[in-house]
Homo-oligomer: A and B are copies of this chain.
Amino acid sequence: MNRETLRKLLENVRSGKLSIAEAGERLSGLPIDELGFANLDTHREIRRGFPETVYGPGKSIEQIVAIVGKLHAAGQTALVTRVGPDVHSAVAAVHPKSEYAAAARAIVLRAGPKRPARTGVIVITGGTSDIGVAEEAAVTAEVMGEAVKRIYDVGIAGLHRLLSHGTTLTKANVIVAVAGMEGALPSVVAGLVACPVIAVPTSVGYGAGSGGIAALLAMLNSCAPGVAVVNIDNGHGAGCLAALINKRSKTAKTLA
């Protein structure tokens, strides 16, 4: 229900087409998302931009195929994260247009044709082991309409690798910096650029602070301003954030 349908309902009350009792019932019994509050409308609007994301672990292949089918039928883009190629085989049997992003371990089934993407998002990693998480971020942002530039394996143990990309980095609207071990990459990057940096700790490493804890704590304690942190290995969350930021950026350019 929105203001228009509300107006019609009230007109029907005045004209007698609708009894007062029935109108009262419909007004008080409506699910809250039909009451026409702007926030909930916007909420649905978000959902149209946002693909429904299906977190794969803990779901059977049958469940995933069913959910993807339901989303597709509803005209929504489906994004399934953290699944293997076997899951994609099952999905592709039903939806031949679905794609499998192997490095990201994600399935994408677009609701319509690929739209022109906006530039401005850079995804960067410290090492090669961080690439899986980085790809999850990149693919998520791409599904949301961003054109993502990837710069991988430029960790701080060899600073010149990172510095050689200095000019490129300074042109970003938002940078997703993915790193495990000591997790210093986002701090170093944030010291070089003027845009927000989204820090993604990865569970790469061993011993004390393993599982990404050392990287997470380092990122939360960054001495450089402008660093936002997401949970360990949460590439999807980082990609969403990057897209939300880039989407409203006045300096993002839509590619032809």
Contacts and interface: CB of A to CB of B under 8 A. Distances in A.
A37 B166 contact: yes
Contacts of A251: 248
A89 interface: no
B250 A194 contact: no
A193 B248 contact: no
Contact of A241 (B32, B53, B219, B228): B228
B244 A231 contact: no
Contacts of A7: 20-21, 24
B33 A192 contact: no
Interface residues of A, number: 106
Contacts of A61: none
B190 A206 contact: no
Contact of A248 (B3, B173, B210): B173
Given A31-B163, A38-B170, A127-B223, 13 more contacts: A6-B28, A10-B13, A29-B167, A31-B160, A40-B166, A53-B225, A156-B191, A159-B191, A159-B192, A183-B218, A208-B232, A209-B217, A209-B218
